[in-house]
Structure 1
Amino acid sequence: MKKIKYFIALAGISLLAQSCANDLNTLPEGNISGEQLNEDQSKPEKILGGIYLDLRSNGAGGTTVHSDFGIMGIKAGADLMSNDVIQSTNQHLGMFYNYEATNASNIASEIVWTTFYARIFVINKLLDDLKNDTSTKNRAIKGQLLALRAYSYFHLIRFYANDYKNHQSDPGLPLVLTSSNPNQGLPRSTVAEVYAQITKDIEESITLLDSFARPSRAQIDQRTAKAIAAEVFLQTGDYTKAGKYAQESKQGIALMTENDYTTTGFSNINNPEVIWGFHNTTATMTIGNYYASFFSMFDNTNEGYAGAAQIRKLIDKRLYEAIPDTDYRKKVFNGSQNAQYTFNSKTKNYPAYVSWKFKDPTLFEGDYIYIRASSLYYVEAEALARQGREAEARQVLFDITSKRNAAYTLSTKSGNDLLNEIILQKRIELWGEGYAWFDMKRLNVPLERVYTGTNHTFGRFNLTPDKFKFQIPNKEINNNPQIKQNE
């Protein structure tokens, strides 16, 4: 497509050109050919490293704004569109919180679109050039590339299209699957067609990664691919596969301790639960701007936008009150009164319901966590419950909730009550980690910020789930005559 061919392709190449992380062997260029790959057998690995680096970097979405910092910025923005996460003042990621991000003219729509399509373009080019290579090393690279493409389309489809259920024939996304696409552009494939490609890619990835031992958690291995697959199949309603992949992915992983959860566990890739993340260093943080980072935006204790500029992140009052006092997850949020909090030898005053969950003792160099094993307990529990295997679902829910709350007892609920309990525990556990809004859209839950005693701020309004769909950015509409805009 013309837009993909020019705007996104150039963005992908230029972003790779900025990449410079030695620990990922990042290649300082994005254009490749089969001849080049034959000349330099390490080149595919370097390009793959560049993709991983780009997905955590300022400018991943092709802009210079500080809300543009890859996967973590997009996950943060999505959560700010939910009922659960509040931003105190209208700056930076505030465009998500007040739903301006859904408009075609808003830079947020461009950021989400370009972050993933720019990577898809480079992924396709590398896959095309590796298609006849059957070496063990490049088999693992292909597996990672397919997982990254599945992950990218999975995010895109949930932003720019209706939910899968009852909308399979609705317009989805342009499916760009090779590095050579027609100049006149590609039309939107249906939601069902996009999900068919996502499931094909992620299951092929699982197969290709069967013997791959990754050198770091920054790379996708088979466990990570299964975690992605579990989320995808939960979305499509294939609960057998969702439960199976969730169980297999989390198997053998220890849960965080209370100390992990309440101190600096969310800024450390060595957190025992981390399935996939990125280890930040001084070198990686120099790409773009220190302030254009997750901890600048979400760590209320630091010297970034959330801390020093006081663009606070708060928990919704209703969700806070739903957490039992015996649950240590409540400790990472302030209660209904202003309070002092000490971290990194600094004591500051904080407003009611402020978050202390994401704390980084460094200068915004905290590690990024994309997927934790905890998330998979809720996928498995929900998948089991929806299959009618409620006793097993209650046990899975108990296995994690009892670790967070010593007073928790095995649930006796069934039907919708059990499902609601699973989702509530998931919202508590994964607050701020990029799950709540996607679940609201999947489960047809409206946005309700207007209620008695609400602590929501400039985004104080209610919306029905049909308003959760992003418009395709104007740059794509203007350059691709085959694509049709969302209303």
Structure 2
Amino acid sequence: MKNIAKIALLILLALSVGSCKKFLEKEPIGKVGKQVLFEDVNGAKLALMGSYKSMLDYYRNEFGMYGDVASDNLVNVPANNVYMPEQFNFSSTAEDEASGAGHIWLDIYETLNNVNNLINAIPELKAKFPGSTGELDALQAQALVLRAICHLDLSKVFSQPYTFTADGSHMGIPLLLKTPNPGQQVPRNTMKETYDQIIKDISDAIPVLKIYGNTDQALISYQAALGLLSRVYLYQGNWTQSLANADLVINDKAYALATASSYKTVFTAYPLSSSSPKVEILFQLSAQGQDKYGATDINTIFSSFSAARYKASAKLLGLFDANDIRKKDMFSVNSTKSITKKYADSISTVPNPFTIKVIRLSEVYLNRAEANWNLGKYDDAAKDLQIISQRAHPNKTITIIYSSAADLYKQIADERNRELCFEGHRLIDLVRRKENLQRGNDCNSTVCSLNYPNDKFVLPITTKELDANKAMKQNPGYN
């Protein structure tokens, strides 16, 4: 297995392959040298599309499922073998290079190296093609946000949350701003350094994205960057900045929440809208035109009625009342299981478009609610909570009543899980809020509870990485 200092440039072309035939004939895909790839602006465009495709690949596989598989949201479907058993049972070891821990590490760093190669090629391309400066700035801005997402995603899996220490001085992940040389020793940065770079990349991109805005929801836009920054600050515990960035997205009015009647189509239609404002999705990864889903894709594991490995736990289903459209419209139910409809069913003869939601406007409202709560603005927090809950209950009037600050906080947390379940958030939300994991009575994992803090809330660095990279330190509890 390659370590992060040996990952080669990997260009995976997701869109318009036919129109790029002459370019592809120069060298086989996967062996395109950087000098060839970045010889013109078209090559930079192809590299960006390859980076989006590479990110889609890690979201459709173990990383995209990890936050729910390792949470209290799911139980294994007894008739089918457990998928990602090490993560479901909290039994990961440093030798798991060929399973979840190893795949997540390698796949995200491959995407990160693709993005870095593009970012570092932009200055030379600007000098070579001064008439394309604006276009290249727009490509670079998208790539900066993709780099921030990679670093954030890695930190969610391999590092304790930012607030694990008071100053973020605990181990984060190796920050890569360029592809390491073969054999280069790459240490881990602190969590503060990790977040500082994430925030810098998104902040540097935002002014450019505001000028050169994207309207395709499968590309990074100005609003998507702001929404992601709201999430980053929420994870960091910087409530003021999380609130400020959420306000910028919501008040911009370029995007609107899906209505109750259109909610289901958020997950079943692409493109969502050609009108303004756009509906719900700030940024999604799209495999439009790719009709084949694998046996271990998120579609099959979570949404195939016959082949799903996981179903909703009784604890999760118990959060929804009978009138909640998210329960009525977003689950497929039979006598033995209830599975999500948030992904295309790989078994269907007419599969839904394959899209994975990275950030939705609903999350931004919930970010703002939680930030307001932490700032003591309870009535403002309740207003955002009411907006999300009312949309889910179109046939009755929702009023948020809370007996205490703690009661309101629990309502916000429960609403977040109702809205974002099966989208990779649950374990990350539990851990960053310093809550215990308590699975329900139908738990069929070997581990049904874990108290915070816990070494098992992060995955190990693989032995192969440690052997190849002596500067790397293992996570506690895996030595």
- Aligning the two structures, in what range does the TM-score lie when normalised by the shorter sequence? 0.7 to 0.9
Other-structure match for 1:105: 96
- Given candidates 415, 421, 427, the residue that maps to 1:431 is 421
Which AA in structure 2 matches 1:461?
C
Q: Does 1:295 find its partner at 2:282?
A: no
Cα offsets for 1:323-364 (capped at 9, x unmatched): 222322221477xxxxx95xxxxxxx4415544554546346
Q: Is the contact between residue 94 and residue 463 of structure 2 (CA under 8 Å) also seen in structure 1?
A: no
Unaligned ranges ≥5, structure 1: 58-68, 300-305, 335-339, 342-348
Other-structure match for 2:324: 327
- Given candidates 311, 314, 324, the residue that maps to 1:314 is 311
Which AA in structure 2 matches 1:79?
D
Where in structure 2 are the equivalents of 1:76-115 lying within 5 Å?
76-89=65-78, 90-101=81-92, 103-105=94-96, 107-115=99-107
What TM-score results when the alignment is normalised by the length of structure 1? 0.83
Other-structure match for 2:148: 150
Other-structure match for 1:373: 361
Which AA in structure 2 matches 1:456?
C
Question: Could you tell me how far apart the structure 1 residues matched to 2:398 and 2:48 are?
Answer: 44
- Given candidates 281, 292, 304, the residue that maps to 2:288 is 281
Question: Could you tell me how far apart the structure 2 residues matched to 1:53 and 1:387 are?
Answer: 39
State the 1:261 CA deviation.
3.5
Other-structure match for 1:471: 460
Q: Is the contact between residue 86 and residue 316 of structure 1 (CA under 8 Å) also seen in structure 2?
A: yes
Question: Could you tell me how far apart the structure 2 residues matched to 1:141 and 1:357 are?
Answer: 30
Other-structure match for 1:254: 256
Question: Could you tell me how far apart the structure 2 residues matched to 1:101 and 1:48 are?
Answer: 33
Unaligned ranges ≥5, structure 2: 273-278
Question: Could you tell me how far apart the structure 1 residues matched to 2:351 and 2:294 are?
Answer: 8
1:25–1:4: structure 2 CA closer, same or farther, 3 Å change rule?
farther
SS of 1:86's partner is strand
Q: Does 1:383 find its partner at 2:371?
A: yes
State the 1:433 CA deviation.
0.9
Which AA in structure 1 matches 2:139?
I
Other-structure match for 1:345: none
Which AA in structure 2 matches 1:294?
I
1:3–1:310: structure 2 CA closer, same or farther, 3 Å change rule?
closer
Other-structure match for 2:226: 226
Other-structure match for 2:336: 351
Which AA in structure 2 matches 1:242?
S
State the 1:378 CA deviation.
0.7
1:329–1:20: structure 2 CA closer, same or farther, 3 Å change rule?
closer
1:182–1:352: structure 2 CA closer, same or farther, 3 Å change rule?
closer
Cα offsets for 1:198-250 (capped at 9, x unmatched): 11111112122121232522211111111111111001111111112123224
Question: Could you tell me how far apart the structure 2 residues matched to 1:45 and 1:240 are?
Answer: 36
Q: Is the contact between residue 326 and residue 407 of structure 1 (CA under 8 Å) also seen in structure 2?
A: no
State the 1:257 CA deviation.
3.1
Question: Could you tell me how far apart the structure 1 residues matched to 2:446 and 2:250 are?
Answer: 36
Q: Is the contact between residue 24 and residue 50 of structure 1 (CA under 8 Å) also seen in structure 2?
A: no
Which AA in structure 1 matches 2:260?
E
1:461–1:477: structure 2 CA closer, same or farther, 3 Å change rule?
same
What TM-score results when the alignment is normalised by the length of structure 2? 0.84
Question: Could you tell me how far apart the structure 1 residues matched to 2:326 and 2:93 are?
Answer: 32
Which AA in structure 2 matches 1:326?
N
Q: Is the contact between residue 74 and residue 112 of structure 1 (CA under 8 Å) also seen in structure 2?
A: yes
Which AA in structure 2 matches 1:219?
L
Q: Is the contact between residue 82 and residue 437 of structure 1 (CA under 8 Å) also seen in structure 2?
A: yes
Other-structure match for 1:303: none
SS of 2:357's partner is strand
- Given candidates 397, 409, 422, the residue that maps to 1:419 is 409
Other-structure match for 1:483: 472
Question: Could you tell me how far apart the structure 2 residues matched to 1:25 and 1:235 are?
Answer: 41
State the 1:430 CA deviation.
0.9
Question: Could you tell me how far apart the structure 2 residues matched to 1:24 and 1:391 are?
Answer: 54
1:292–1:268: structure 2 CA closer, same or farther, 3 Å change rule?
farther
1:255–1:23: structure 2 CA closer, same or farther, 3 Å change rule?
farther
1:414–1:357: structure 2 CA closer, same or farther, 3 Å change rule?
same
Q: CA RMSD in A?
A: 2.7
